[in-house]
Amino acid sequence: MTYLMLTGGRVVNTGGTVDADVLVRDGKIEAVGNLSGLTLTDVERVDCTGRLLLPGGVDVHTHLDSPMMGTTTSDDFATGTRAAACGGTTTLVDFAMQAPGEKLLQSLENHRAKAQGKAVIDYGFHMCVTDLYEGATDEFAEIMQSGVTSFKVFMAYRGSLMLHDGALFEVLRSSSAVGGQVCVHAENGDVIDRLAADLVAAGRTGPGSHEVSRPPSTEVEAVRRAIQIARMADSPLYFVHLSTEGAVEAVAEARAKDWAVAGETCTHYLTLDRSLYDAPGFESAKVVLTPPLRTKEHRDALWRGLRAGTLGVVSSDHCPFCLEEKRRLGENDFRAIPNGGPGVEHRFIVMYAEGVQKGRISLEKFVDLIATAPARQFGLFPSKGAIVSGADADIVILDPNGTTTISAQTQNQRMDYTPYEGWTLPGAIDAVYARGELVARGGKYIGSEGRGRFLARSTL
Ligand code: URP
Ligand code: ZN
Ligand code: ZN
């Protein structure tokens, strides 16, 4: 077929919602509007009456096939991107980790090779800088030219991932000089390490101690410090996975001064809470992710931060490790449990249900948070993140009257659990198109293999 026509649906973009048809050709959106008068031959028509047509999700925080804490995340680019597609996400920006002692360009190349031919949706990379060796920043311009226009640094995990403040300053300054942006994992790693050592010394070695070792102030202090260091470096700053009220306040203060500070939070901080750490035995290792889940008060502050525009992006921080792998590494010491959890498959529907259906955000705001704003923030808009003429035809058809039940048994993520086990949510994703190809229907992947393309991203 030359044309695909999605007829009779409600098209939702950040700027508004309209009843409209969508015409697709060669993987791109050709027109949006009342197209019933068009005489076309060779057209496949799909009746979308009663359905919402939403931009494919853009998830800018995933860790696929990624080395972390002595193991590797359980989803590779084949399984992780299939799961994403089934859940309505059609674009990822994944973290390319710098391996210890390895050149940045080499690590980037290695990560690229893991994705090529395996990813089924389009993808880009952030470059994680974990070891600022002599000459590392000289490679930033080449990394940027290759379409990798953002870097990530860690203020926690001393001895493996953490950069000290001088190195953080240097990354910010050098990135800014070549037009890049820096994503910061803001936690005070040294204080956390001391608190964790105290807990272990007191015999509190179980997974519930993870949360106790990372109190909210360890995030807030690091956020405030990073903002000041970014000022010294004259650099923009993007905070990943913010989890606390104090962090939202710090970002709001910076933005009120017109400083280039942006903030992201994640599905799990908005929908789960710290009570999960009280589960018996090793069960709470499922939510040993970083920063930890917080109280309801913090969760409410994050929702307020989204509504106010202080936080602009909701990502999954999909960093999956099976429970058995967490047990193998960290049964006797929570510090060795690999930090992270799954989420790329469920971000879209959980945010729709918990955000829109619960009246916390509008449909248009939902689209902004899960597709448009992340695409803008990371140089992918307008090809990605909107249903407009000229954009890639990445479209989710959602039935607002349907329901979705989440379970480890039926999920596509290569995982033995999901923190949303048994949740039955209003709304069901009927179909997902990626560049005009029907890639998922009813939660099952039906697209071609390895079809994803690397996205060279522009600068801000
Ligand atoms: O729990 C998480 N988030 N794991 C580590 C990766 C990260 O983003 O810090
Ligand atoms: Zn992080
Ligand atoms: Zn992460």
Tell me if 94 is assigned to some domain: yes
Within this chain, do residues 86 and 42 fall inside the same structural domain, yes or no? Answer: no
Q: What is the pLDDT of residues 3-33, one digit of tens each?
A: 999 999 999 999 999 999 999 999 999 999 9
Q: What is the pLDDT of residues 349-384, one digit of tens each?
A: 999 999 999 999 999 999 999 999 999 999 999 999
Give residue 211 CA to ligand 1 midpoint distance, Å.
Answer: 14
Tell me if 453 is assigned to some domain: no
Return the residue whose CA atom lies nearest to atom 4 of ligand 1: 340
Any residues with Cβ below 6 Å from ligand 1, and which? 63, 185, 241, 289-290, 317, 319, 339-340
Q: Sheet containing 313-315: which strands, arranged edge to edge?
A: 57-62, 89-96, 122-128, 150-154, 181-185, 237-239, 261-266, 313-315
Domain boundary among 331, 347, 377: 377
Q: What is the pLDDT of residues 143-166, one digit of tens each?
A: 999 999 999 999 999 999 999 999
Within this chain, do residues 233 and 276 fall inside the same structural domain, yes or no? Answer: yes
What confidence score (pLDDT) does residue 460 get? Answer: 64
Within this chain, do residues 183 and 89 fall inside the same structural domain, yes or no? Answer: yes
Domain boundary among 320, 345, 377: 377
Range of the domain at 186: 56-377
Within this chain, do residues 288 and 429 fall inside the same structural domain, yes or no? Answer: no
Domain containing residue 412: CATH number: 2.30.40.10
Give residue 28 CA to ligand 2 midpoint distance, Å.
Answer: 34
Domain boundary among 362, 377, 392: 377
Q: What is the pLDDT of residues 164-215, one digit of tens each?
A: 999 999 999 999 999 999 999 999 999 999 999 999 999 999 999 999 999 9
Q: How many domains does the chain have?
A: 2
Within this chain, do residues 94 and 206 fall inside the same structural domain, yes or no? Answer: yes
Q: pTM of the entire structure? A: 0.98
Tell me if 223 is assigned to some domain: yes
Nearest 5°: phi and psi at 271? -130, -15
Shortest-distance ligand to the CA of residue 183: 2
Best residue for ligand 1 mutational test, from 157, 160, 240, 241 (most atoms within 8 Å of Cβ) = 241
Tell me if 140 is assigned to some domain: yes
Q: What number is the average pLDDT over the span 273-278?
A: 98
Q: What number is the average pLDDT over the span 326-343?
A: 98
Return the residue whose CA atom lies nearest to atom 8 of ligand 1: 317
Return the residue whose CA atom lies nearest to atom 9 of ligand 1: 290
Within this chain, do residues 173 and 303 fall inside the same structural domain, yes or no? Answer: yes
Within this chain, do residues 283 and 425 fall inside the same structural domain, yes or no? Answer: no
Q: What percent of the chain has pLDDT over 90?
A: 99
Best residue for ligand 1 mutational test, from 130, 185, 192, 318 (most atoms within 8 Å of Cβ) = 185
Give residue 153 CA to ligand 2 midpoint distance, Å.
Answer: 8
Q: Would you place residue 459 in the very low, low, confident or very high pLDDT band (cuts 50, 70, 90)?
A: confident
Listed residue (28, 1, 5, 120) closest to 387, CA to CA:
28
Q: Which atom of ligand 1 is nearest to the CA of 240?
A: 8
Within this chain, do residues 75 and 50 fall inside the same structural domain, yes or no? Answer: no
Within this chain, do residues 368 and 407 fall inside the same structural domain, yes or no? Answer: no
